[in-house]
């Protein structure tokens, strides 16, 4: 595989792009990078899909891919167990060393910057500590202006500076996102103060990577709505891309599903599939093997092309799908021969 990459890099990359499973994995990785709160959902979906596909391969061909999934699953279970224990232990230690209230006495003098998640974005603050008291407080980033009234933030800051310590704020007015805003604001102050506590407990590097990679942030209703929209967009894009990547089948994406070709076709239906519209739709989704099975019913009269509003020719699209199926089987046979031959 590596030698082919060196000999013909463009051809090798083209073959990778033509693998639908790889494309779907890339889509999932892009979403996971852009939306951390979707990672646990994507991880579960990918695991379920791989479990189903590789189990079927194991039953049909005794494929060893299922063993890789078992190994990945064991790693995730062990990693989750370790991470859970580490998080529980660290959180207990953090609670005992909290900078809230009298805990300000643990914070050394200095200026610290902290970040908290507000309703509409991150909230960044700079806190100055002097003689174990909060001396000054500056807001560096704040996107939630309409969530909490300015006077409430000002009153909270005034009370905080008067006491010199971080204490629970008063309940904000019931504006949209007000609770999330004031919580994120307070969290940013706490995040700044803990940086001034020597040897403050932190999660292990493995736990941080594991949480960031597989878990991300807790999913919300917004996450689910976003995933639904992205799924629909990727689905349309994927089926369009599949046809464009396969020579001769790109015109299948123009099918209106009007069934005019079915009325003109002398066959009209074969094995429950409307002809030739059903074969064109199967071509659109990339099910070339099924098209190859049903193509024997097409008589090649061309009446569908004469009646189609956009001039699609069923026989031409079916022929292209037939060739794509043959090419796919040829590559699978070559790959199997190489595997059976083993190293030279």
Nearest CA-CA partner of 214 in 75, 22, 65, 92 = 75
| Res. 99: pLDDT tops 70 | yes
Q: Order the strands of the 122-130 sheet from edge to edge.
A: 110-117, 122-130, 133-141
Phi, psi angle pair for 142, to nearest 5°: -160, 110
User: Each residue of 102-127: pLDDT tens digit?
Assistant: 999 999 999 999 999 888 888 999 99
Tell which wins on pLDDT, 34 or 52. Answer: 52
Instruction: Name the most confidently modeled range: 2-16, 192-206, 272-286.
Output: 192-206
What is the pLDDT, as a whole number, of residue 216?
75
The CA distance from 207 to 253, in Å, is: 46
**pTM given for the model:** 0.60
What is the pLDDT, as a whole number, of residue 30?
83
Poorest-pLDDT segment among 41-50, 82-91, 96-105, 148-157: 148-157
Beta pairing, strands 110-117 & 122-130: antiparallel
| Res. 129: pLDDT tops 90 | yes
- Structure-block tokens of residue 248: 């001769």
Beta pairing, strands 133-141 & 122-130: antiparallel
| Res. 153: pLDDT tops 50 | yes
Residues 6+ apart with CB under 8 A from 222: none
What is the pLDDT, as a whole number, of residue 324?
81
What is the pLDDT, as a whole number, of residue 14?
66
Q: Give just the sign of the alpha carbon dihedral 60, 62, 64, 67.
A: positive
Tell which wins on pLDDT, 166 or 60. Answer: 166
What is the pLDDT, as a whole number, of residue 187?
93
| Res. 277: pLDDT tops 70 | yes
pLDDT band at 344 (very low <50, low <70, confident <90, very high): very low
Instruction: Name the most confidently modeled range: 13-17, 62-66, 271-275.
Output: 271-275
pLDDT band at 1 (very low <50, low <70, confident <90, very high): very low
173: helix, strand or coil: coil
What is the pLDDT, as a whole number, of residue 18?
67
Tell which wins on pLDDT, 335 or 318. Answer: 318
What is the pLDDT, as a whole number, of residue 56?
86
pLDDT band at 5 (very low <50, low <70, confident <90, very high): low
249: helix, strand or coil: coil
The CA distance from 164 to 187, in Å, is: 16
Q: Residue 139's beta-bridge partner residues?
A: 125
What is the pLDDT, as a whole number, of residue 3?
56
What would the mean pLDDT of 268-291 be, rounded to a whole number? 86
Q: Quick one: 156 exposed, middle or buried, by C-beta within 10 A (0-12, 13-18, 19+)?
A: buried
What is the pLDDT, as a whole number, of residue 331?
75
């Amino acid at each position: 595989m590596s030698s082919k990459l060196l000999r013909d890099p463009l051809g090798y990359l083209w073959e990778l792009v033509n693998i639908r499973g790889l494309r779907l994995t890339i889509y999932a990785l892009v979403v996971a990078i852009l939306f951390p709160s979707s990672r646990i959902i994507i991880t579960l979906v990918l695991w379920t899909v791989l479990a189903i596909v590789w189990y079927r391969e194991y039953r049909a061909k005794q494929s060893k891919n299922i063993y890789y999934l078992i190994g990945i699953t064991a790693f995730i279970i062990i990693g989750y167990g370790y991470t859970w224990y580490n998080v529980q232990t660290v959180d207990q230690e953090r609670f005992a060393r909290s900078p809230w209230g009298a805990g300000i006495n643990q914070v050394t003098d200095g200026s610290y910057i902290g970040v908290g998640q507000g309703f509409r974005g991150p909230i960044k603050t700079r806190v100055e500590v002097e003689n174990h008291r909060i001396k000054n407080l500056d807001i560096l980033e704040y996107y939630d202006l309409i969530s909490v009234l300015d006077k409430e933030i000002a009153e909270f800051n005034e009370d905080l500076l008067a006491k010199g310590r971080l204490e629970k704020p008063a309940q904000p007015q019931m504006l949209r996102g007000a609770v999330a805003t004031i919580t994120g604001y307070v969290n940013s102050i706490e995040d700044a103060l803990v940086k001034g506590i020597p040897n403050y407990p932190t999660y292990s590097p493995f736990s941080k990577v594991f949480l960031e990679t597989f878990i991300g942030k807790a999913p919300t209703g917004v996450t689910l709505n976003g995933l639904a929209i992205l799924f629909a967009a990727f689905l349309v894009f994927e089926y369009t891309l599949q046809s464009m990547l396969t020579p001769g089948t790109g015109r299948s994406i123009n099918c209106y599903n009007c069934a005019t070709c079915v009325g003109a076709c002398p066959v009209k239906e074969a094995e429950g599939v409307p002809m030739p519209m059903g074969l064109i739709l199967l071509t659109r989704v990339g099910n070339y093997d099924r098209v190859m099975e049903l193509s024997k019913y097409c008589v090649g009269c061309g009446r569908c092309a004469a009646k189609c509003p956009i001039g699609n020719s069923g026989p031409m699209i079916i022929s292209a799908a037939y060739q794509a199926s043959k090419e796919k089987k040829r590559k699978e046979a070559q790959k199997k021969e190489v595997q059976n031959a083993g190293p030279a």
